[in-house]
Amino acid sequence: MSNVTTYNFPTRIRFGAGARHELGSVLSEAGVWRPSIVTDRGIARLDWFKKLVESLGHDFEVNVFSDFEGNPIGSHVMAGVASVRSHAADAIIAVGGGAAIDVAKAIAA
Kindly report, residue by residue over 6-24, the tens digit of the pLDDT. 877 777 788 888 889 999 9
CATH of 32-108, one of 3.30.70.60, 3.90.850.10, 1.20.1370.20, 3.40.50.1970: 3.40.50.1970
Regions of the chain with pLDDT less than 50:
none
Q: Say which residues have a Cβ less than 8 Å from residue 98's Cβ, sequence separation at least 6.
A: none
CA angle (43, 87, 46) in 5-degree steps: 15
Task: State residue 1's pLDDT score.
Answer: 61
Give the integer Cα–Cα distance in Å for 83 and 89.
9
What is the percentage of the chain residues whose pLDDT exceeds 70? Answer: 99
| Domain boundaries defined on the chain | 32-108
3-class DSSP assignment, residue 38: strand
